[in-house]
Amino acid sequence: MQHCLILLHGNIDRCVCLFREQETGPDRHCLSRNIDILQNFVHDKLLFGISSRMQNVGEQGHMALLGHSLAAYISVLDRERLRKLTTRILSDTTLWLCKLFRYENGSAYFHDDDRDGLVKVCRLVINARYEEYASEGYAVLNSKQPVIYQSASCRPGLGQHLCSQLGLPLSSLCTVPCNTIFGSQHQMDIALLDKLIKEDLETGKLPLMLIANAGTPGAGHTDKLSRLKDLSDQYNMWLHVEGVNLATLALGQVTSALMAATRSDSMTLTPGQWLGLPAVTTVTLYRHEDPALSLAAGLTSSQPVEKLRALPLWLSLQYLGHNRIVQQIRHATTLVEDELSSPVVLFKFSQAMSAGKVSLSESDKLIEMDIAVNYKLCDQLAHLVPTSGVDVVVLEDDGTYVRFNPLLTAAVLGTQQQDVEDLVEKLTELVPLMISTLCLRQNFKEETHRHSPLLTYIEEPSWPGIGGVRKEALERIKTELLKKLQKLDTDIIFSTGPEFGTEESCIFVGMVTEDIDVSELVDTIATLGKDIEESGRLLENMTEVVRKGILEAELQLQMANEEKLIEEGLLRQLPLVGSMLNWFSPVQSSIKGRTFNLAAASLDSTELTYSTKAQAGRPSLQDTAPSSLKRLPGRTVNMSCSIFHFIPQVCSV
């Protein structure tokens, strides 16, 4: 690191060359080993007990992490050198990004919060459109209220955050619905947008900014950016574009619909996600000719330390080079067949769509069940193919989907074509399992009713399995029954049900194959529950018998003590006097211990126990046990330790 700083003082262009030499030269293993030691320390010491899997940091990720440490070292340089160095880093990174993503004559703002760039750009537009804003402040907005237009498919909470940071009322935010008849249902309705703008102009409002999507957060659809740009120019609005599809601007072949994003006034990029770079800033590219307004809006800074935010990204871009950057983005898009349209794939399992005409309540149950099944499907796929990066996305009008978005996950997880093939294979295996489970739910319900009132069927639409049951007094035996069911030689999963389910004291059965015998499954649950319940009842009976035996033994011992007191006389009970009498004239104790035979449920004297002659003529315990206790269905009772001895207390002075 010291040699790297010396090179930075002399010639900034040689910095990355040093790192490249370390990655390929004799110091390569030393650099890699030091990074591995640091990563292991963080994982073992700082993140001990956290079950989430850490991101697999690649070579370019190492450069980004080193950039943060390097920025801390550089910040202690003298002010003049720091100013020259940070200015060079910022200008180079801005130039590379603008060239890479076809954004000519642009400036860059580097920020940690991916919404902060939009906030700063909007503040820039306010300063530009309201000339007296710098001196008058928010009071100047009262004459013409600014309006910000966003799509209904934009990021949730984005507009509210924008208004909160700018101090604007929510009435300044206008959410434009998406298409309902023509075009994609996730694209902004341009005709309706035009109508809304005209209505705002008629009421004395000022159309300020339009936020468009180049890849909606959910479905990955791109708005008609060319027409939106023309509309923005017509009404003198600022056009801001964001979305995952902006990454494809770096490719050699770009669709005309996405190429229109290069004509926007600003756009937000997330290269860290696209290239698998940890802890790298988000970048907002923008075009504006007045540097004073950019400074007032916070898009530029006179503090050199602020410019060091670009250093990790600067190092990573230098290390990767143009060809590798394009290669990584192209690899992510080729994992989807129709990558030119949208590199995002959505799919879901739905029985509500094929159910036909059903009642409203039944339709709600089917929708809730579909949600549970799709969450289960995503969990299973993520577990079976962890490098696929699938997740669940909820679309407002279309419901719950499983999403495969390689532009956001492939670089981080290292997704390959084989992973996609494995994903498709596992999906084809899980779908028949889900179909058979849903088809057998009614059979499971009928079989459970057949065992009523021993078993009760539980209707829980949020459970993706075959169903749930409740047994009489299940709360007492639920844990033991669940353990026995989980030990069965079967692939069926038994659990306590959904985490936030409304039913308690129930056992839920997971997904089943079509060849499962539902009748036998329910019989097994009922039989095991009955055996556990009978065993518990036997233990309760034994407890009661033992309790009564103890009370009877205590009573007999108390009566024996009273008889002893009468037999020996009062003098023998007095201190010293009793000892003298016992010494001159010993008395044989007449108190006998008591033995409780659990098998025979009888209380006897211990005299027979200690008499050899009596023991020889005493019947065996097994012979004296009642026939009802000798054998129980499904359970063996061990009587070998069923005798309790109660020995009287002997007090001596």
Mean pLDDT over residues 23-27, rounded? 47
Amino acid symbol at 608: L
Do the domains 77-333 and 447-567 sit in the same CATH topology, yes or no?
no
pLDDT digits (tens, 9 = 90+) for 436-474: 998 999 999 999 998 888 888 888 888 889 998 887 655
pLDDT at position 174 is 96
8 Å CB contact between 646 and 594: yes
8 Å CB contact between 215 and 393: no
pLDDT at position 71 is 84
**Mean pLDDT computed over every residue of the chain:** 79
Amino acid symbol at 458: I
Nearest Cα residue to 407 out of 252, 283, 262, 249: 249
> What is the phi-psi region of residue 146: left when phi exceeds 0, alpha when psi lies from -120 to 50, beta otherwise?
beta
- DSSP SS3 for 534: helix
- On the question of pLDDT at 593 being above 80, the answer is no
Q: Does domain 447-567 have CATH number 3.90.1150?
A: yes
Rounded distance between C-alpha atoms, residue 97 and residue 105, angstroms: 11
> What are the residue boundaries of the structural domains of the chain, listed by start?
1-44, 77-333, 345-352+359-415, 447-567
Mean pLDDT over residues 417-424, rounded? 95
**What global pTM score does this model have?**
0.74
CATH classification number, 77-333, choose in 3.20.20.30, 3.30.70.940, 3.40.640.10, 3.10.580.10? 3.40.640.10
Torsion of CA 433, 437, 443, 445, to 10 degrees: 160
- On the question of pLDDT at 603 being above 70, the answer is no
286 sits in which H/E element: strand 282-286
